[in-house]
Amino acid sequence: MTYLLDKSAWTQAPQSKEAARRIADLIRRGDLALCTVTVLEILYSARNAEEYDRDYARLSSLRWVDLSVPRAAVDVQRGLAQRGWHRTSIPDVIAATAAEHDLTVLHYDSDDERLAETVKITHEWVIRAEKATADQRDPDQQGPPDARPPGATA
């Protein structure tokens, strides 16, 4: 199974050893993909140019997938609006991308459950919610400890 990374899963890695291990393992196996919207979200959170460059290097080595027809995200948003779940559009793009490429969204956000119900995609929590607070890591570290595929250099 290949996963499409959501920023909510990525940001759990500094908080949880289990999340960090899971993401790093998926990267090493080549089972983690991301889309441009997720990369933009992650890189937007960089506190300086050094963090930006570090995270960009980690992310750029992963498989990137994007929507071939970006308007598909509007269809996702419309389905959510019809259920009264209309909100920010970024998760809608991620869900539409997962649907197009038959990927499972890896997340840490309850909104992805509603998206999965609406769009009929598969999703998994990167860790159980209670594990995030019980399994602490260095809060200054963003992303998994070694988010590079085998053979990649820092």
For residue 142, the model assigns a pLDDT of 53
| pTM value > 0.85 | no
- Residue predicted with more confidence, 69 or 57: 57
Strand positions, DSSP E, 32-80: 32-34, 63-64
Residue pair 32/23 in contact by the 8 Å Cβ criterion: yes
For residue 81, the model assigns a pLDDT of 83
Average pLDDT of 63-76? 84
* CA pair distance 93, 101, nearest whole angstrom: 12
Return the residue matching tokens 């919610």. 129
C-beta atoms surrounding 61 within 10 Å: 15
For residue 144, the model assigns a pLDDT of 57
Average pLDDT of 73-100? 79
pLDDT band at 70; cut points 50, 70, 90 = confident
Whether the per-residue pLDDT at 55 is higher than 60: the answer is: yes
Domains and CATH numbers, the chain: 3-133 (3.40.50.1010)
* CA pair distance 87, 106, nearest whole angstrom: 20
